[in-house]
Amino acid sequence: MTIRIGIAGIAGRMGRLLAEEVPAAGARLAGGTLRSGTAPAGAEVLPDFGALCGVSDVVIDFTHAQAAPLHARTAAEAGTPLILGSSGLSAEEEAAVADAAARVPIVFAANFAPGVNLFLAIAERMAAALPAAQYDAEIVEMHHRQKVDAPSGTAVALGRAVAAGRGTTLEDAGRESGRDGHCGGRGTGTIGFAALRGGQVVGEHTLIFAAASEHISLTHRSFDRRVYATGAVRAALWAAARPAGLYDMKDVLGM
């Protein structure tokens, strides 16, 4: 059976790429929703997210973080698996997504690029091997000038991976960001973030472990948003046959 995939925000930059990647993967484009703009030629436009769930076997959503709780709840009520790529969710919004995942499969990932997910796995292993007392962890990310949230979802995921490798959480380890003026010395064991914005950078993330005697850095660069679209469609095909639960891209990749 050909899987029908719906796209929330089909007129956006990611939505248009997704609309191209769905048929390329052998699936059927069920249609999409939009707030403004024009849908790709031949794509059916549905009046709202609930209607989109009704005609889709899986829905992919890269729209605004504030829409995520409602969309997750709507997908759960419809019994439609959801691929969620919105970034910048608050703790309360993430909790709402997790609650919906008790009723329907949801793949919620900070980044759908396979290389980034390998990066996250390596970051956790590096953090486990490099003691926080000796190695300061700093995360530097740069994105296009239109990005509205900072640090990026991928940067936060990197911070969480580092914290997990050190047997703690990002919240307990502590975040350092926005240093300016006489802000005092760096806290031991904290995880630092720096967010850069400019031009049309698709996405660049560097993780640095800095000790007194050595520095180790790991960088991932995205040159084309299509890598996120192909990953999300791959996740949609994977999620269509899964039981209810909250998954991430590492589950899709079998990592």
Domain ranges of the chain: 4-112+225-253, 114-222
- Written as six digits, the tokens of 157 are 């995921």
The pLDDT score that the predictor gives to residue 178 is 85
The pLDDT score that the predictor gives to residue 29 is 98
Give the homologous superfamily in CATH for domain 114-222.
Dihydrodipicolinate Reductase; domain 2 (3.30.360.10)
Q: Are strands 105-108 and 58-61 parallel, antiparallel or unpaired?
A: unpaired
pLDDT in tens, the chain (255 residues): 799 999 999 999 999 999 999 999 999 999 999 988 899 999 999 999 999 999 999 999 999 999 999 999 999 999 999 999 998 899 999 999 999 999 999 999 989 999 999 999 999 999 999 999 999 999 999 999 999 889 999 999 999 999 999 999 999 999 999 888 998 999 999 999 999 999 999 999 999 999 999 999 999 999 999 999 999 999 999 999 999 999 999 999 998
The pLDDT score that the predictor gives to residue 165 is 98
The pLDDT score that the predictor gives to residue 197 is 98
CA triplet 170, 181, 143: central angle to 5 degrees?
55
| Catalytic residue of the set 143, 182, 205, 220 | 143
The pLDDT score that the predictor gives to residue 173 is 96
CA triplet 52, 32, 244: central angle to 5 degrees?
45
Q: Tell me, which fold does domain 4-112+225-253 have in CATH?
A: Rossmann fold (3.40.50)
Q: Do 233 and 22 touch, CB atoms closer than 8 A?
A: yes
For the entire predicted model, the pTM comes to 0.86
The pLDDT score that the predictor gives to residue 87 is 84
Say if residue 151 is preceded by a cis peptide, omega within 30 of 0.
yes
| Catalytic residue of the set 64, 144, 147, 250 | 147
Active site residue 143: yes
Active site residue 205: no
- Written as six digits, the tokens of 223 are 């040159």
What per-residue string of b and e applies to 38-49 under the rule 16 or more CB within 10 Å gives b? ebbeebeebeeb
